[in-house]
Amino acid sequence: MERLRAMGKVYINFGLKNRDMYNLMFNLKAPMEFLNDEKLQEWNEGKATFDVLRSTVNECLTAGYFIGHQLEPTAFMIWSMVHGMCSLEISNRSVGVNIQNPETIVTAAYEEFMKIMDKQ
């Protein structure tokens, strides 16, 4: 679980410190269009990265976390949650919607997410 926590923090830190790269990786269509144009069946870097997350979540399941939850949907949900927080912040969606302390909302939200995850 500690590794999973750290992975989320690293993901968020990377995204917020490398906004243009993050947008290229996840928000612009060009990289995925290239893969489709080249008729590549798999995105090896993406697959390898998700495999690390899936493996870590599987270790959490084995250690007694996320009881009653399925591996694949749980890993995808965790990625989606962390990705969503980064994307909202990078696109300035967390400013202007009346969030208190928008400058620290991603960090605070991640900590709240981890509290929920710890209870599972």
Helix (H) or strand (E) holding 98: none
Task: Look at residue 119 and give its three-state secondary structure.
Answer: coil
- Residue 33's domain comprises 2-118
Structural domain total, the chain:
1
**pLDDT per position as a tens digit, 26-79:** 765 555 565 565 555 555 666 788 999 999 999 999 999 999 999 999 999 999
CA distances from 23 to 1, 48, 81 (A): 28, 20, 16
In the three-class reduction of DSSP (H, G, I as helix; E, B as strand; rest coil), residue 91 is classed as: coil
More confident residue, 10 or 31: 10
Q: What is the pLDDT of residues 89-110, one digit of tens each?
A: 988 888 778 888 888 999 999 9
* pLDDT of res. 5: 95
